[in-house]
């Protein structure tokens, strides 16, 4: 697995992270790993969910409207 080094963290942040790790019965490294994994999972799901909601909304708004292939539009634009 890859390793990450974070430099110049405020000592107060380090102490808060150590307290948090102790509350969760983890090492500082384990706590940091959990925080980072959760942050990525949560943001990925939110982004995907928001994107899919937008897609559904656009589909509803354009239902019944004929759609033109984007490649065809690009070709036409290049001919100008």
In a domain, 80, yes or no: no
Name the domain count of the chain: 1
In a domain, 57, yes or no: yes
Question: Is the distance from CB of 31 to CB of 20 less than 8 angstroms?
Answer: yes
Choice between 10 and 42, residue whose per-residue pLDDT is larger: 10
Residue 60's pLDDT is 93
Whole-number pLDDT of residue 42: 77
Q: Is residue 1 part of a domain?
A: no
Using one digit for the tens of pLDDT, what is the confidence trace for 51-77? 889 999 998 999 988 888 899 999 999
Structure pTM?
0.55
Backbone angles phi, psi at 26, to 5 degrees: -130, 165
Structural domain contains residue 18: yes
Give the span between the Cα atoms of 33 and 50, in whole angstroms: 26
- Surface-to-core class of residue 16, CB atoms within 10 Å of its CB (0-12 exposed, 13-18 middle, 19+ buried): exposed
- Tens-digit pLDDT profile for residues 28-53: 999 999 999 998 887 777 788 888 89
pLDDT reported for residue 32: 96
Q: Is residue 58 in a domain? A: yes
Question: 75 lies in a domain?
Answer: no
Residue 78 lies in a domain: no
Question: What domain range is 49 assigned to?
Answer: 11-63
Asked whether residue 15 is assigned to any structural domain, the reply reads yes
């Amino acid at each position: 697995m890859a390793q990450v080094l974070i430099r110049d963290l405020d000592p107060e942040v380090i102490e808060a992270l150590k307290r948090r790790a102790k509350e969760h019965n983890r090492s500082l490294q384990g706590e940091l790993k959990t925080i980072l994994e959760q942050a990525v999972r949560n943001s990925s799901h939110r982004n995907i969910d928001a994107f899919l909601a937008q897609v559904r909304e656009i589909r509803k708004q354009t239902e019944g409207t004929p759609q033109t292939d984007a490649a065809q539009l690009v070709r036409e634009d290049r001919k100008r």
